[in-house]
Structure 1
Amino acid sequence: MTSMDLFFFFFIFLLFIYPEMMMKYRIMRRLRCIREIEKERKSRVIAMIHRQEALTFLGIPIYKFITIEDSEEILRAIRLTPEDMPIDLIIHTPGGLALASEQIALALKEHKAKTTVIIPHYAMSGGSLIALAADEIIMDKNAVMGPVDPQIGQYPAASILEAYYRKGEKVDDETLILVDISKKAIKQMEEFVYELLKDKYGEEKAKNIAKELTSGKWTHDYPLTVNKLKELGIEVNTNVPKKVYELLELYPQPMGAKPSVYYIPVPYNKKEREKNEK
Structure 2
Amino acid sequence: MWIWNIIWLIFILYTFMPLLKQRNIEIKRYKMIQDIEKKRGTRVIVMIHRQEMLSILGLPLSRYINIEDSEQVLRAIRFTPDDMPIDLILHTPGGLVLAAEQIAHAIMKHRGKVTVMVPHYAMSGGTLLALAADEIMMDENAVLGPVDPQLGNYPAVSLKRVLKEKPIEKIDDETLIMADMAEKAIVQVRDSLFRILSKRFDEDKSRELADIFTQGRWTHDYPISCEQLRSMGLQVSNDLPQEVYRLMELYPQPVQRRPSVQYVPLPYRKRRDE
- Contact preservation (8 Å) 1:59, 1:254: no
Distance 1:156 1:10 in 2: 52
Cα shift readout 1:221-261 (whole Å, capped 9, x = no counterpart): 00000011112222211110000000000011213443222
Return the letter of the residue paired with 1:7.
Answer: I
Gaps of 5+ in 2: none
Alignment match, 2:233: 233
Alignment match, 2:62: 63
Return the letter of the residue paired with 2:141.
Answer: N
- Contact preservation (8 Å) 1:147, 1:222: yes
Q: Cα–Cα, structure 1 residues 11 and 60, in superposed 2: closer, same or farther, change >3 Å?
A: farther
Return the letter of the residue paired with 1:209.
Answer: L
Cα shift readout 1:184-218 (whole Å, capped 9, x = no counterpart): 00001000000001120111101000001001111
Distance 1:65 1:10 in 2: 37
SS at match of 1:199: coil
Distance 1:257 1:47 in 2: 29
Distance 1:115 1:77 in 2: 13
Alignment match, 1:148: 147
Corresponding position: 1:264 with 2:264: yes
- Contact preservation (8 Å) 1:52, 1:61: yes
Distance 1:258 1:234 in 2: 41
Return the letter of the residue paired with 1:183.
Answer: E
Return the letter of the residue paired with 1:222.
Answer: Y
Distance 1:12 1:168 in 2: 68
Distance 2:36 2:174 in 1: 51
Q: Cα–Cα, structure 1 residues 59 and 12, in superposed 2: closer, same or farther, change >3 Å?
A: farther
Q: Cα–Cα, structure 1 residues 7 and 55, in superposed 2: closer, same or farther, change >3 Å?
A: farther
SS at match of 2:69: helix
Alignment match, 1:116: 115
Distance 1:258 1:108 in 2: 41
- Contact preservation (8 Å) 1:20, 1:56: no
Distance 1:157 1:107 in 2: 26
- Contact preservation (8 Å) 1:33, 1:243: yes
Alignment of 1:1-278 (within 5 A): 1-4=1-4, 6-14=6-14, 16-170=15-169, 171-270=171-270, 273-274=271-272, 277-278=273-274
Q: Cα–Cα, structure 1 residues 257 and 198, in superposed 2: closer, same or farther, change >3 Å?
A: farther
The offset of 1:59, in angstroms, is: 3.5
- Contact preservation (8 Å) 1:147, 1:220: yes
Q: Cα–Cα, structure 1 residues 35 and 207, in superposed 2: closer, same or farther, change >3 Å?
A: same
Distance 1:8 1:255 in 2: 27
CA RMSD across the alignment:
1.5
Cα shift readout 1:28-51 (whole Å, capped 9, x = no counterpart): 100100000001110000000011
Q: Cα–Cα, structure 1 residues 182 and 256, in superposed 2: closer, same or farther, change >3 Å?
A: closer
Q: Return the TM-score normalized by structure 2.
A: 0.95
Q: Cα–Cα, structure 1 residues 261 and 192, in superposed 2: closer, same or farther, change >3 Å?
A: same
> Percent identity between the aligned chains?
51
Return the letter of the residue paired with 1:246.
Answer: R
The offset of 1:3, in angstroms, is: 3.4
Gaps of 5+ in 1: none
Compare 86-95 and 173-182 and name the one that shifted more. 173-182
Return the letter of the residue paired with 1:108.
Answer: I
- Contact preservation (8 Å) 1:91, 1:117: yes
Distance 1:232 1:10 in 2: 59
Distance 1:22 1:179 in 2: 49
